[in-house]
Amino acid sequence: MQLWCPDYQTPDIEIADYQEFTVHRCDIKFRGPGFDPFAGAQGSYFTCVGAAQTYGRFCETPFPALLADRIGLKALNLAVGGAGPGFYLQYPSLIDAANCGKFVILQAMAARHDTNSRFEANGHVEFLKDRIKGDIVDSGTAWRRIVDEDFENAPGYIAETRRSWLEETRRLIDALRVPAIFFWYSSREPDYEIDWDAMRELRARGEYVDLLNGLWGDVPQLVDGPTAQEAAALCQSQARCLSRRGMGAVLINRQTGKPIDPAHYKDRGLEYQPLAMGRNHYYPSAEMHEDAADALEPVVRRVIG
């Protein structure tokens, strides 16, 4: 089975070497350094599952690697950019790999591409199938259709999406036989409120980027406090990292040590667009990954005793 996943290494080759590798019976490329999780002793590593924030786009040493150095266990980084919890349920070998480790760090992933009565998740990585029109579109296009065509029912679609996300998270946690740590890794608190009057004004002015941000909230999009709390309660432990430290850093060419040329990446496709800005305004910075490791370390040490 092959599902669409973002390719970070090709556009980012001047910035970082992600040392990508694959796991047995799964042809998705993951962030290294890699190893065969089925070849070693039970509990000789820990597993991280999540999205781009755990993968560590633009970051030389993401928090799984930092944490591995601190606690003396290898890290199996199975994060996939744009993934939701349902992604992992499609690959039994990834669940098996996680269950061969000592524990799992489960990032609170986005819900923006989960199922509701209008759209059906398609691979649980960014895309959705329109139940009415029959086509497959990215999550931004899907939610713009809701805004354009059925805005007054948007609260209901959001509630349905959160329930779907929670059920997928529950199924993932139920499949794990090792301790799971629920990890809230974001620049915002879990609780957030949608100002529906402001959303109507943005809709009237056609300001869709701000409108979607207002509906979704920051990463993990569409997941609110009560939903996150229910998911965290299913895990043995939880950790939280709220940080924006270092956000907006200039992207540096690892060969020259100089800033990349943003013009080189313009008009080269969706995955190149963050580079066309010349700065990292979305993915966690190196400093934020340090903060994540700081938040996780005491929790992990309690879990492993």
Distances (CA, A) of 170 to 50, 175, 191, 282: 15, 9, 20, 28
Q: Over the stretch 31-60, which tens digit does the pLDDT of each residue have?
A: 999 999 999 899 999 999 999 999 999 999
Confidence at residue 58, expressed as pLDDT on a 0 to 100 scale: 98
In sequence order, the 6+-apart residues with CB closer than 8 A to the CB of 163 are none
- Going along the chain from its start, the domains and CATH numbers come out as 9-110+155-195+219-304 (3.40.50)
Cβ neighbours around 112 below 10 Å, total: 25
pLDDT of residue 240 exceeding 70 = yes
- Bond into 33 cis (ω within 30): yes
Q: Give the gyration radius of the chain's Cα atoms.
A: 19
Q: Over the stretch 140-191, which tens digit does the pLDDT of each residue have?
A: 999 999 999 999 999 999 999 999 999 999 999 999 999 999 999 999 999 9
- How many whole angstroms separate alpha carbon 62 and alpha carbon 292? 9
Q: What sign for the dihedral angle of Cα 101, 107, 112, 117? A: positive
Q: Over the stretch 74-96, which tens digit does the pLDDT of each residue have?
A: 999 999 999 999 999 999 999 99
